[in-house]
């Protein structure tokens, strides 16, 4: 009975995912955009990541605790950049993408313009929706987070991070667009480097921020569609022409 119950639940989840993907394709196929249905990851509590812990220690005027193995720490190694988990993994920047795909099962979508369809927006905070976007020879990490910045007032934060260095991130511009019921909302900015920590970007508010009522205006049956476009920055383009 337990076996059949689990199988039946898996079939229902697959049917639900297919239905969401069908709805998204029906809405956005006319625009010729690729659609990725992203299910939420809901955690009971966020475990403090190493970058968040280091930031808190710095604000309090203290250095992070030193462990014996950190005495020979390779400065070229970076911690896991996935905001969903407190992951102890660290490695070189070139293998971050393979770690995210293999260990955390994060999907990757290719194309200059895609649609990020986040399902189940009604779930309580904290909740994350995350996907990788491959474009212009680089990989980007799109994070949508539902979080209570003030108690009892959840907000949605969406940001694009380049899996690369800050100097590489300056070469690109990303645009997030919400479009529904004759309303349109756009956010355009330079992506931040994944080395700068997603938590810091969200706490600084340097991203697309939606309160609950505004998110409901653009949602459809509990799903929020965000159009994503990435281009090279004007400065980088002019330098290439020269």
Q: Residue 25: inside a domain, yes or no?
A: no
% of the chain exceeding 90 in pLDDT: 39
Q: What is the pLDDT of residue 239?
A: 44
Q: Residue 132: inside a domain, yes or no?
A: yes
pLDDT digits (tens, 9 = 90+) for 130-139: 999 999 999 9
Q: Residue 26: inside a domain, yes or no?
A: no
pLDDT digits (tens, 9 = 90+) for 139-184: 999 999 999 988 888 999 999 999 999 999 999 999 999 999 889 9
Q: What is the mean pLDDT of residues 22-51?
A: 57
Q: Residue 117: inside a domain, yes or no?
A: yes
Q: What is the Cα 69 distance to its own chain's centre?
A: 31
Q: Residue 22: inside a domain, yes or no?
A: no
For residue 90, CA distances in Å to 71, 103, 136, 195 come to: 15, 12, 26, 12
Residue corresponding to tokens 């989840």:
13
- The count of domains in the chain is 1
**Which CATH number characterizes residue 166's domain?**
2.60.210.10
Q: Residue 107: inside a domain, yes or no?
A: yes
Q: What is the pLDDT of residue 43?
A: 54
Q: Residue 184: inside a domain, yes or no?
A: yes
Q: Residue 91: inside a domain, yes or no?
A: yes
Determine the structural domain holding residue 182 and report its residue range: 31-40+78-232
């Amino acid at each position: 009975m337990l076996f059949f119950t689990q199988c039946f639940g898996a079939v229902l989840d697959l049917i639900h995912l297919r239905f969401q993907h069908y709805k998204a394709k029906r809405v956005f196929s006319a625009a010729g955009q690729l659609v990725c249905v992203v299910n939420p990851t809901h955690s009971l509590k966020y475990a403090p990541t190493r970058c968040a812990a280091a930031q808190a220690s710095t604000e309090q005027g203290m250095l992070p605790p030193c462990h014996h193995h950190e005495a020979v720490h390779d400065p070229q190694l970076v911690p896991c950049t996935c905001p969903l988990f407190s992951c102890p993994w660290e490695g070189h920047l070139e293998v971050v993408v393979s770690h995210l795909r293999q260990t955390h099962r994060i999907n990757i979508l290719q194309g200059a313009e895609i649609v990020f369809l986040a399902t189940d927006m009604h779930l309580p905070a904290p909740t994350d929706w995350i996907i990788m976007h491959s474009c212009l020879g680089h990989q980007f990490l799109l994070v949508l987070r539902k979080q209570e910045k003030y108690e009892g007032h959840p907000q949605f934060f969406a940001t694009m991070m380049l899996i690369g260095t800050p100097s590489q991130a300056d070469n690109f511009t990303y645009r997030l667009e919400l479009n529904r019921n004759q309303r349109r909302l756009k956010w355009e900015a330079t992506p931040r480097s994944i080395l700068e920590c997603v938590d810091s970007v969200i706490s600084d508010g340097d991203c697309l921020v939606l309160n609950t009522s505004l998110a409901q205006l653009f949602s459809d049956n509990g799903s929020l569609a965000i159009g994503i476009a990435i281009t090279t920055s004007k400065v980088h383009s002019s330098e290439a022409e020269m």
